[in-house]
Amino acid sequence: MIDQPMMVKICDIQEESPGVKTFFFKLNLNFEPGQFVMVWIPLLDEKPFTISSIQKDLVGISVLKRGVFTNALHSKKIGDMLGIRGPYGRGFSLKLDSNSCVVGGGIGMASLATLVDRLNLVVDKRRGHVTVIQGARTVAEIIYQKRFRDMKLCTEDGAAGFKGTTVDLLKDLLKKQRFQKVYTCGPEKMLHKVVELCREHSIECEVSLERYIKCGFGVCGQCDCGGQRVCIDGTVFNTEELSRMEDFGRITITKTGERVIH
Amino acid sequence: MSEINLSVNLCGIQLTNPAILASGILGTTKALLKRVAQNGAGAVTIKSISVEPREGHKNPTVITFEAGMLNAVGYSNPGVDAAAREFSNLQDVGVPVIASVIGTQKEDFVRVVEGLSAQKFSAIEIPLSCPHTPGFGLLAGQGTPQATFDITSAVRKVTKLPIFVKLSPNIPEICTIAKAAEDAGADAITAVNSMGPGMIINIEAQKPILSFKVGGVTGDALRPIAVRCVYDLYKAIKIPIIGVGGISTGRHAIEMIMAGASAVGIGTGVYSRGIDVFRKVCEEIGQWMQENGFDSIKSIIGAAHD
C-alpha cells in the first residue's frame, strides 16, 4: 500500500479507442481486481482509477476522456510523471472451477479487465469458462477488441455484435447456458438490472460501484452508498450486501455531499 | 467485563459511552451516522453545514503520514436546506446526533441553526477554529475572544439545545477564548480542532500534496497538544470539555478524561483502527477501569490534576 502519492513515469501509451487510452508505468503493486488507485496530477486534481492491466511490474490504467482531469491525462506523453497511491478497497472474490460471466458497460470494462485475465488464468489450469459481455454505445467505443477469448459485444445500433443492452444479451445467454457467477461494472442503472436478473436466476453476482472519491481510505464519508463506503467497504459488493444498500441504483452523492437521484 | 458502566451525562444528554464521532469524519449521511452508532459510538457529529452548498477544495484533500492525517477538505457540504432533508428522523440513528454548524459571519450560524431546528439534533457544535478554509474559522478571525463571544451569543439566542464551541489548539490563549464562549452561554467546549495548518511536500513532484497546499494536522501528532489544552481548560472553565485529538485507543481516551474531558471525540482513529474504533475504545476503557478499580467515567474525569 502506498499512502502518499508516488511519482511514476509513463513508459507506454496505448490507444484503446478514440476516447480511451491506457497509460503504462512501472510500479510494484499488490493489486486485486476491483480495487483502485488514486492518480494525482500535481496542481490539478486527483481521481480514482482501476488498474486495467498488470504484467509483472508494468501496470496500466485505462482512461476515458470525459472531463478536465481526464483531458489533462490524455495530453500526457511518454516520460511524463503521475502520482499514484493505493491500491484501495475490497476487490472481487473469485469463484473457481465455474462458468462465469463478466458484464462490462462502457469504461466499466476497465475495472473488469484484470479480473478476466485472472479468471482465464485459473480456467486454463483447472476448470470452467469465462464469457465476457462488453456493451458500448457505438462500435467506435469498444475497447480491448482482441484481449479476451470469449467476448460478446453489444451496441445500441447493432453495428457490432448484439443489438441491444448488456442486460438483454445476458438474458438471452441465460436461456441457453448456466453461469455460477456474474461479475459486473458499468453505469449503475445497468448494474441494478444485472443484479435483478441474477437474483431471478439465483446466480451469485458481484458488482463494482463508482462514487466520487476523496480520501480513498474510509474517513471522509464522500463515497457513501446506503451506509457503505465505496472506497473501503467496496468497491465490490455482492447481491446480499446490495439488497441492504438503499441508495444502490437510485442515489449518488455530489461533490457537495448531497444525495441526489442518479 | 461488559458490566462496567461507561455512561456519561453531557450537558443533560445521556450517552451510553463517552466515545463521540468527531465532526468531519463520516458524518455526510444519516446512513453513515447509523453505521457509526452500530459500531459503538456514544454520540455522533455530522459534517459541518453552512448556509449555501460548498464543493470544498479539490483533491487531494486528505492524506496520511507517519503520525496522523493532514486534511483540507474545505467544508464541502450540501447547504442547510439539503442537510435538513438528509438529517430528518434522526431517532433512526440510535444515539444522540450533534449538528456542526459553520458560517462566514454570525448571521450565517443563526440561519443554519434555525434551518436545522426542526430536526432532532441533541446539540449544536460551532467550530470557530478551522485552519484551512478561507472565510471560515481561523482564516476569518473567528478564533478571537470577541468573535467567539459574539457568535456564541448569537447562536445562544436562537436555540435551547446545548452549544459546544470547538476551539483551535494553535492559540496560546485558548483558555481566554473558552471563557468568552462560557460567558456567552456555551454549554461545553470541544477541544481541539486540527492544528496547524501543516504541509506535506512530495519531493519528486516538488509540490505540496494537498491541493490547498496546507491542511489541519490530526491523529497521534496532535494528541499531546490536545491533552495539554484540555488539562489547561479544565482548570480555567466550569463547563464540561469534549476532548478530541489523536484518540484511537482506550488508554488515549482515559488519558484525555484524566486531563479533564467528560467525553472524547474520535476522528482519525477511524483510519488507524477502522470504523469499529468506537467499540474497541469502549471495550479498552472498560477493561482498564475494571483492572484498576474504577466503576464510572465520572470518577476519572480530571484525575491527573493535583
Read off φ and ψ for residue A171, nearest 5 degrees: -60, -45
Q: Residue written as cell 443563526?
A: B110
Chain B contacts of A226, Cβ < 8 Å?
31
Query: Quick one: average pLDDT of B205-210?
Result: 98
Nearest CA to A50 out of A39, A40, A37 is that of A37
Read off φ and ψ for residue B150, nearest 5 degrees: -65, -45
Domain map (residue ranges) of chain B:
8-54+72-197+220-300
Q: How large a percentage of chain A has pLDDT more than 70?
A: 100
Using the beta-carbon criterion (under 8 Å), do A5 and B209 form an inter-chain contact? yes
Domain map (residue ranges) of chain A:
2-88, 92-208, 210-262
Q: For chain A, how many residues are written?
A: 262
Where are any strands of DSSP class E within chain B?
Answer: 8-10, 13-15, 19-21, 43-45, 62-65, 68-71, 97-100, 123-127, 163-167, 188-191, 195-198, 201-202, 207-208, 215-218, 241-244, 263-266
Chain B contacts of A47, Cβ < 8 Å?
59
Point out the catalytic residue in the list B130, B175, B229, B282. Answer: B130
> Which pLDDT band holds residue B306 (cuts at 50, 70, 90)?
very high
> Which pLDDT band holds residue A19 (cuts at 50, 70, 90)?
very high
C-beta of residue B69 within 8 angstroms of C-beta of residue B24: no
> Which pLDDT band holds residue B3 (cuts at 50, 70, 90)?
low
Residue B94 sits at the chain A interface (C-beta within 8 Å)? no
Instruction: Give the closest-approach CA distance of A82 to chain B in angstroms.
Output: 9
Give per-residue pLDDT as tens, A202-243.
999 999 999 999 999 999 999 999 999 999 999 999 999 999
Nearest CA to A195 out of A150, A154, A236, A137 is that of A236
Give per-residue pLDDT as tens, B166-178.
999 998 889 999 9
Query: Considering only residues 261 to 300 of chain B, which have any Cβ-Cβ distance to chain A shorter than 8 Å?
Result: 267-268, 270-271, 274-275
Amino acid identity at A142: I
Give per-residue pLDDT as tens, B91-106.
999 999 999 999 999 9
- A235: three-class secondary structure by DSSP: strand
**A92-208 adopts what CATH topology?**
Rossmann fold (3.40.50)
Question: Does residue B291 register a pLDDT over 60?
Answer: yes
Where are any strands of DSSP class E within A50-143?
Answer: 53-55, 58-64, 81-88, 99-105, 129-136
Chain A contacts of B53, Cβ < 8 Å?
256, 258
Query: Quick one: average pLDDT of A249-255?
Result: 94
> Which pLDDT band holds residue B1 (cuts at 50, 70, 90)?
very low
Query: Quick one: average pLDDT of A245-258?
Result: 95
Question: Does residue A97 register a pLDDT over 90?
Answer: no
Distance, in Å, from the CA atom of B269 to the CA atom of A218, rounded to the nearest integer, reads 11
Read off φ and ψ for residue B54, nearest 5 degrees: -135, 135
A176 Cβ neighbours under 8 A, 6+ residues apart: none
**B8-54+72-197+220-300 adopts what CATH topology?**
TIM Barrel (3.20.20)
Residue B34 sits at the chain A interface (C-beta within 8 Å)? yes
Give per-residue pLDDT as tens, B265-290.
999 999 999 999 999 999 999 999 99
Using the beta-carbon criterion (under 8 Å), do B77 and A256 form an inter-chain contact? yes
Question: Does residue B6 register a pLDDT over 60?
Answer: yes
Mutation target among A76, A82, A242, A256 for the B interface, most CBs of B within 10 A: A256
> Which pLDDT band holds residue A123 (cuts at 50, 70, 90)?
confident
Distance, in Å, from the CA atom of A77 to the CA atom of A75, rounded to the nearest integer, reads 7
Read off φ and ψ for residue B244, nearest 5 degrees: -135, 140
**What's the whole-number average pLDDT of chain A?**
96
- Provide Rg for chain A, Cα atoms: 18
Give per-residue pLDDT as tens, A146-172.
999 999 999 999 999 999 999 999 999
pTM exceeding 0.80: yes
**A2-88 adopts what CATH topology?**
Elongation Factor Tu (Ef-tu); domain 3 (2.40.30)
Instruction: Give the closest-approach CA distance of A43 to chain B in angstroms.
Output: 6
